[in-house]
Structure 1
Amino acid sequence: MNLIVNELLKDEANNQVFRVLWIDEENIMAYLIDIYDRKALPFIRSVREIIDEIIQDELTKIKEDPFVPFINQAQNPKNIEYRDQAWNIIKEMVAAESDIFEKKKRAMYVKKASETYEVSLPTVRKYLRKYWQRGKRPDALLPEYFKSGGKGKERVSGTKKRGRPRKYDEQGINVDEETKKLFRVSIEKYYLTSKKNRLTEAYMMMIREFYAEDYYFEDGIKKVIVKDKNQLPSLKQFRYWYNKEYTVQESTIARQGRKKYEKDFRSVLGSSTAEAIGPGSRYQIDATVGDVYLISRYNPDWIIGRPIIYFVVDVFSRMIVGLNIGLEGPSWSGAMMALANVVTDKQRFCHEHGIDIAKELWPVEHLPDVLLGDRGELEGMNADHLVAAFNIQVENAAPYRADWKGIVEKQFDTIQRKVKPFLPSYIDKDFRERGARDYRLDAKLTIEQFTQLIIKQIIYYNTKHYLRDYVRDEDMIRDDVQPTPLNLWNWGIRNRSGKLRYFPEETVKLHLLPRGQATVTYRGIKFKGMYYSCERALKESWFPTARQKGSWRVSISYDPRNMSFVYLINEDLYSFSTCHLLEHQKRYEGKTLDEIQYLLGYEKLQRSQSEHQQLQKEVDFISDAEALIKSATKEADQGQSKVISKSQKTKSIREHRKDERESRQDDEAFLLGNRKNTSSPSAVIPFNTKESDNDERYARPSIKARGLWHKSGEDSNE
């Protein structure tokens, strides 16, 4: 074992640290000095003894030198000047090793330097001590201004006012322990609360509560008289002691709550990418409300509100691997639709929405190893279902900690910001402010058109978006991988794959698609107001059976984005039958469940309004009927004889009916052709009379006569 000049040795028993100043050429003797003792002087020790103590762990070598600064103070010109002056005084004597370590010879050197440079003996000794204790280098003589002022040390209050004298104010008071106690109580009571009072308000509440000299009543209200200004702490003192005793973290947690602090105010020192070693290591899923209003495909006058957008993002590559756009609020159903889209062939998916792409532009159809989402959507039985079916590890972000899903959260801003300039009815920051335009009236896009726009923007993002903040590792730098999602995904597949999981698309969808109970009726398989049929139902005569024996329930899966089909789960749970809409249900074909429910809801509202209008008309009819009957009753009562008996009234009903019928014939007779108005009464042509030969023209011929007439007419035509 060797002993080196300038090494530090710690005495474990006495907690002292020594620096090796000098070793003779034969490696026999060495001079050491205590680096912390303010009156320390060099002393001599045997090298062999020192090494033995190191072997026996009585002395320990220290690697870190406490007097080697991390920042070079010599950059300050004043510090350089001070150092150079001190170095000039001692540089000749410290070169005279080992004489300078001997007490008598050192005294001679010190006296000579004092006389030559006109400085005191203690000053020369101080420079020597600093030089030796701090590493035997000129920079050891730099001044320690950073220790000036007693930073971090509290002053003991006396009778004299501390601090700079006030120019225009009274003298004030010193902040003693009692005053600091009042400060703490007031800050805890009035400032560090959820009420979020300002510090000035807390100060005034403190003055009112603890520095009241007297009180009086004015209009029945108790008011306090504060002490003289010279007996009060100032707001500046109050603020100083608050900043001194409370950290930003403590204050923010007390005023904002720990959840909000963790979400919006905590330090961010990590990176989400560090959690993922390759594509599929971790997906993040989240939903947001789109910043645009949409219209219905059924009727452009129907504004259907804002869409709910789900994104699934691969943490490693930032690739958007799945999406779902609907109208139902964030839920398990929406999340599962987005996950089902993850395993969908994206080329076919885009084609279904009228967009043709090469498969290489969106080569994603795999499930991840870990899925991070919200507690409300991926918690409980839903998460167990994913684990059991696909062995996906599900993680849930803590409440109010959307920042745990920072990557997918950022994509919402990126995608929507790109499409903002093109969107009518895009919601701006001034939405709902007084005088602001109602953006809902500008709605022009349907949910299908909005989906197409988002798909196109996702394709652009995945293939072209340069990730400025992505930190590439050494392997990526070596391979010169451009930080775009598609490049990172493809590079990761070649070099870091192993976490992606493949399952048949139909299998995944059957597990992830929402399930429901449909009813088999004689009119078809009824689900949410729509009727379907399938080959199995026809083969097994379900519909005639339902008409004769009654309906029953069956389990189905369905895709809310397209209700043209539902999927009947067979009893073996491993197969299914596809059910299609009946012919008279074609108005629902290609529509989303949200659109259909909106239509059915609107029609239900119309029926309800119509029923109300009908009810109003019926009520109006009752009023009209009552008025008519009341008038008729009054008129009849006035015209009816009171002397005729009941039997007389009822025995001539047949004759009276005949008379009434004959009298009504004139009113019911048809009068055809133009007739001039005349004041004379109309002539009545009598029937069944032989007084005139002309009357035979009006007689109705018999069937036999009509047949003879037709025959004679045909003969004449020949």
Structure 2
Amino acid sequence: MNFYVNEIVQDKSTEKSYRVLWIDPDNIILYTLDLNNDKAFPEKTLVSELTEAIVIGDWIKIKNDSYIPRVSQEYEQKHYDIRDKAWNIIRELVNEEPAIYEKKHRSKLIKSTCDKHDVSYPTVRKYLYKYWSRGKTIDALLPDYKNSGGKGRERKVGSIKRGRPPKYGIEGINVDESTKKIFRLALEKYYLTSKQNRLTDAYKFMLKDFYAENINYEMGVERVILKDKNTIPTLTQFKYWYQKEYNAPEVLKARKGEKRFNKDHRAVLSTSLSEVFGPGSRYQIDATIGDVYLVSEVNRNWIIGRPVVYLVMDVFSRMAVGMYVGLEGPSWAGAMMALTNVVVDKKAYCAEYGIEINEDDWPSHHLPEILLADKGEFEGYNVERLVRAFNLHVENAASYRADWKGIVEKQFDLIQKRVKPMLPGYIDVDFQERGARDYRLDAKLTLKEFTQILIKQILQYNTQHYLKSYMRDKDLVADDVQPIPIELWNWGIQNRTGKLRVFPEEFVKLQLLPRGIATVNHKGIQFKGISYSCEKALKEAWFENARMKGSWKIKLAYDSRNMSHVYVVDDSLGYFEECYMLDVSKRYEVLSLDEITYWKQEEKRLEKEQNHRQLQKDIDYITDVETIIKQAEKAKKSQQDKSLSKAEQVGAIRANRKEEKERQRKIESKPIIEKESKSTEVVQFPQTVAEKDFKRPNVREFLKRRKEDKDE
């Protein structure tokens, strides 16, 4: 049985839960922390004892981790400042593993930190407990009072002055929308510039421009007279709204420039560590555009272009631990899909593509300690999400240095060589040369089928591929471990664990899946032209309320590879609920967002073509009608009797109608079967019954006969 950093185990007899903080590389001891006691410190435990306790059922592993904070957009900048301040205090301490877990070393380290940062011993101890108990991430240090008071809602502006009573008799004003507009103009004109003025200077310039009561001239010099002190905003109000509306990256980029911000002021997200001790020490991620053209699963006559393939590789074992195949990217969204795949249950993932495997065939479902990525997708502010949520160190390879990610680059090369002889639509070296075959016309595989091929290839690589150039160290040689990815991984799990991180799959999806805005109306949850519903919507009568009160917007997370389900997200509550397709959208089930988008575009194109054909028919109809009318007008003119007066013409309508009706009856009363010739002989049958008039009586005659029958 294996244990992983961040796992939660529980003593069934006391119902106390403990988090695994650190595991000895030799897998002999580990340290745990009591999650039910905020005064607790790490405890040393033998791995064998904990294993035995779980085997006999006295202890259990807990999958749902409710202690990891769900970061919300409702946090204000001051909360992040508090977090960063706490992190700066303990960042060196928490890296002193395992010394920080031992009491004799911990006391010295904490005292040294207290002296260095001028903080108290209980404060450092509180920060350490929060960091350890809440998943060993930076966001664990966020304050717990984000939901106190009005939950970030602004107070309505009224006649009564908001805020605490004035100390020195200056009432001031309430900041309304017009005042905030002035604040923004002043900040952008005087503070968010390369001149790097002080905030107090920007405030003074604002007063001069917008709060002048009068202007006097003394000796030819303009003197601005400010309004009364109780009718102008204070410097404190100006600072408050500045801090509320502008974050650090915006300010630094505006004042110091983009290049200098990236060089000197961006968050330090990478590390210079290059040591690879075991599985999870470092993963490499990269993307490439596949050299094959694919067709749509909806209609194989639609060529959808070349796929984007993402691979995530473990450096120690060379095992492929995650993948993504789609039409997204190379981009941040595609990279997040690949990282999401890293933590999913691979058995369930393969089953989605009709491939059955055992859990031992692809056992990776962990995040690493360090992620080496490309400079493109993983450079910038977005990557801070990974740092905050998972305390994941991200290294960006330098431009034009693909050799820094040699492992994953080599795997791409293997993929291209292995699939080339078999794939229809594969691009050869003569692609786009004059006279070369257009390989796009050979496309036959769908995105799903191509993904199936790559999954099978990765499974074969992980379990069978012999790494000729892998340099085994003495431990691997001593244990006779073959340089095959799955064997290296399994050996590392048993002998060099401690670097892998486990997080709940739903939590990872919540953090990494791309987000979008959906509309709730009386027909369902509308997203990307697809209709969804969920249990929460039905229980709370969302659709009935939308029909009565009007539609509204909600936030969704979605997996673009399969749009059968999306997820309602509420960051403030850590809420995450699955939505399913309604019957009206079932035709899109199991399809990717790209295929659905292509399908809709094709339908619009066909609709446009049909509209043009219909327009042509309408024009033809108008032309035909006008021709008929012209002929009728010509005929009327040639036959018109000018001797008849208007009264005579109108007065003859009834007679004319009767005559026309008789004429029409004669025309329409033609026999169904025409006589073949005049020489046809008619045979007369003897009449045994007196001839009667068998004409169909009209209603008046019918009623008359009926009355006579009654009288008789």
TM-score of the two chains, using structure 2 as the length reference: 0.56
| 2:367 aligned partner, one-letter code | L
Give me the whole-angstrom Cα distance separating, in 2, the residues matched to 1:677 and 1:570.
88
Match of 2:567 in 1: 567
8 Å CA contact 1:517, 1:553 repeated in 2: yes
- Does the residue aligned with 2:421 lie in a helix, a strand or coil? helix
Match of 1:132 in 2: none
- Does the residue aligned with 2:324 lie in a helix, a strand or coil? strand
1:698 and 2:703 equivalent? no
8 Å CA contact 1:420, 1:426 repeated in 2: yes
| 1:477 aligned partner, one-letter code | V
Cα distance change on mapping 1:633 and 1:396 into 2, 3 Å: farther
8 Å CA contact 1:564, 1:589 repeated in 2: yes
1:602 and 2:602 equivalent? yes
Give me the whole-angstrom Cα distance separating, in 2, the residues matched to 1:669 and 1:568.
70
Give me the whole-angstrom Cα distance separating, in 1, the residues matched to 2:630 and 2:529.
47
Which runs of 5 or more residues in structure 1 are unaligned?
1-271, 680-691, 712-718
Aligned residue runs from structure 1 range 201-216, under 5 A: none
Tell me by how many angstroms 1:585 deviates: 2.5
- Does the residue aligned with 1:335 lie in a helix, a strand or coil? helix
TM-score of the two chains, using structure 1 as the length reference: 0.55
Give me the whole-angstrom Cα distance separating, in 2, the residues matched to 1:602 and 1:479.
59
Cα distance change on mapping 1:504 and 1:706 into 2, 3 Å: farther
- More deviation in 623-632 or 495-504? 623-632
8 Å CA contact 1:368, 1:392 repeated in 2: yes
Aligned residue runs from structure 1 range 231-270, under 5 A: none
Match of 1:387 in 2: 387
- Does the residue aligned with 1:603 lie in a helix, a strand or coil? helix
Match of 2:555 in 1: 555
Cα distance change on mapping 1:358 and 1:702 into 2, 3 Å: farther
- Does the residue aligned with 1:672 lie in a helix, a strand or coil? coil
Tell me by how many angstroms 1:670 deviates: 6.3
Give me the whole-angstrom Cα distance separating, in 1, the residues matched to 2:500 and 2:549.
50
Match of 2:81 in 1: none
Aligned residue runs from structure 1 range 68-217, under 5 A: none
Match of 1:538 in 2: 538
Match of 2:215 in 1: none
Match of 1:152 in 2: none
8 Å CA contact 1:370, 1:394 repeated in 2: yes
1:529 and 2:507 equivalent? no
Aligned residue runs from structure 1 range 659-674, under 5 A: 659-669=659-669, 671-674=671-674
| 1:414 aligned partner, one-letter code | L
1:371 and 2:371 equivalent? yes
Match of 1:428 in 2: 428
The structure with more radius of gyration: 1
Cα distance change on mapping 1:633 and 1:451 into 2, 3 Å: same
Match of 1:278 in 2: 278
| 1:280 aligned partner, one-letter code | G
1:612 and 2:605 equivalent? no
Cα deviations by residue, 1:364-407 (Å, 9 ceiling, x for unpaired): 00111222223332232320111111111223233333333222
Give me the whole-angstrom Cα distance separating, in 2, the residues matched to 1:528 and 1:548.
24
Q: Which structure is richer in relative contact order (CA contacts within 8 A, separation 6 or more)?
A: 2
Cα distance change on mapping 1:642 and 1:677 into 2, 3 Å: farther
Tell me by how many angstroms 1:412 deviates: 0.8
- Does the residue aligned with 2:695 lie in a helix, a strand or coil? helix
8 Å CA contact 1:371, 1:395 repeated in 2: yes
Cα distance change on mapping 1:633 and 1:404 into 2, 3 Å: farther
Cα deviations by residue, 1:41-60 (Å, 9 ceiling, x for unpaired): xxxxxxxxxxxxxxxxxxxx
8 Å CA contact 1:570, 1:577 repeated in 2: no
| 1:566 aligned partner, one-letter code | V
Match of 1:298 in 2: 298
Match of 2:342 in 1: 342
Cα deviations by residue, 1:222-267 (Å, 9 ceiling, x for unpaired): xxxxxxxxxxxxxxxxxxxxxxxxxxxxxxxxxxxxxxxxxxxxxx
- Does the residue aligned with 1:586 lie in a helix, a strand or coil? helix
Give the percent of matched residue pairs that are identical in Structure 1 and Structure 2. Answer: 57
Tell me by how many angstroms 1:700 deviates: 4.7
Q: What RMSD, in angstroms, separates the aligned Cα atoms of the two structures?
A: 3.0
Give me the whole-angstrom Cα distance separating, in 2, the residues matched to 1:588 and 1:345.
25
| 1:560 aligned partner, one-letter code | S
Give me the whole-angstrom Cα distance separating, in 1, the residues matched to 2:700 and 2:285.
90
Tell me by how many angstroms 1:636 deviates: 2.4
Tell me by how many angstroms 1:457 deviates: 0.5
Cα distance change on mapping 1:509 and 1:617 into 2, 3 Å: same
Tell me by how many angstroms 1:490 deviates: 2.1
| 2:489 aligned partner, one-letter code | W
Tell me by how many angstroms 1:363 deviates: 1.1
**How many correspondences in the alignment?**
428
Give me the whole-angstrom Cα distance separating, in 1, the residues matched to 2:576 and 2:622.
57
Give me the whole-angstrom Cα distance separating, in 1, the residues matched to 2:544 and 2:701.
51
Cα deviations by residue, 1:83-102 (Å, 9 ceiling, x for unpaired): xxxxxxxxxxxxxxxxxxxx
Cα distance change on mapping 1:617 and 1:376 into 2, 3 Å: farther
Cα distance change on mapping 1:416 and 1:548 into 2, 3 Å: same
Cα deviations by residue, 1:522-559 (Å, 9 ceiling, x for unpaired): 11111111111111111111112222222111111111
Give me the whole-angstrom Cα distance separating, in 2, the residues matched to 1:315 and 1:515.
30
Match of 2:352 in 1: 352
Cα distance change on mapping 1:381 and 1:695 into 2, 3 Å: farther
Give me the whole-angstrom Cα distance separating, in 2, the residues matched to 1:340 and 1:283.
14
Tell me by how many angstroms 1:642 deviates: 4.2
Match of 1:315 in 2: 315
Cα deviations by residue, 1:100-135 (Å, 9 ceiling, x for unpaired): xxxxxxxxxxxxxxxxxxxxxxxxxxxxxxxxxxxx
Cα distance change on mapping 1:341 and 1:653 into 2, 3 Å: same
- Does the residue aligned with 1:698 lie in a helix, a strand or coil? coil
Cα deviations by residue, 1:558-601 (Å, 9 ceiling, x for unpaired): 11122111111247431222211112322222222222222222
- Does the residue aligned with 1:517 lie in a helix, a strand or coil? strand
| 2:341 aligned partner, one-letter code | N
- Does the residue aligned with 1:526 lie in a helix, a strand or coil? strand
Match of 1:687 in 2: none
| 1:497 aligned partner, one-letter code | T
| 1:633 aligned partner, one-letter code | E
Which runs of 5 or more residues in structure 2 are unaligned?
1-271, 680-689
Match of 2:588 in 1: 588
| 2:593 aligned partner, one-letter code | L
| 1:489 aligned partner, one-letter code | W
- Does the residue aligned with 1:378 lie in a helix, a strand or coil? coil
Match of 2:207 in 1: none
8 Å CA contact 1:273, 1:315 repeated in 2: no
Match of 2:440 in 1: 440
Aligned residue runs from structure 1 range 672-687, under 5 A: 672-676=672-676
Cα deviations by residue, 1:183-215 (Å, 9 ceiling, x for unpaired): xxxxxxxxxxxxxxxxxxxxxxxxxxxxxxxxx
Match of 2:413 in 1: 413
Tell me by how many angstroms 1:420 deviates: 2.0
Cα deviations by residue, 1:592-651 (Å, 9 ceiling, x for unpaired): 222222222211211111111111111222222233323332332333244544444444
Cα deviations by residue, 1:478-508 (Å, 9 ceiling, x for unpaired): 3333222222222322333222111001110
Match of 1:629 in 2: 629
| 2:697 aligned partner, one-letter code | A
Cα distance change on mapping 1:330 and 1:669 into 2, 3 Å: farther
Tell me by how many angstroms 1:295 deviates: 2.2
Give me the whole-angstrom Cα distance separating, in 2, the residues matched to 1:533 and 1:634.
64
Tell me by how many angstroms 1:409 deviates: 1.4
Tell me by how many angstroms 1:445 deviates: 1.9
Give me the whole-angstrom Cα distance separating, in 1, the residues matched to 2:485 and 2:658.
97
Give me the whole-angstrom Cα distance separating, in 2, the residues matched to 1:304 and 1:514.
22
- Does the residue aligned with 1:471 lie in a helix, a strand or coil? coil
Cα distance change on mapping 1:646 and 1:418 into 2, 3 Å: same
Give me the whole-angstrom Cα distance separating, in 2, the residues matched to 1:702 and 1:571.
82
- Does the residue aligned with 1:342 lie in a helix, a strand or coil? helix
Cα distance change on mapping 1:515 and 1:707 into 2, 3 Å: farther
Match of 2:488 in 1: 488
Give me the whole-angstrom Cα distance separating, in 1, the residues matched to 2:603 and 2:675.
51
Tell me by how many angstroms 1:336 deviates: 0.8
Give me the whole-angstrom Cα distance separating, in 2, the residues matched to 1:385 and 1:369.
15
- More deviation in 551-560 or 628-637? 628-637
Give me the whole-angstrom Cα distance separating, in 2, the residues matched to 1:541 and 1:374.
46
- Does the residue aligned with 1:334 lie in a helix, a strand or coil? helix
| 1:510 aligned partner, one-letter code | L
Match of 1:472 in 2: 472
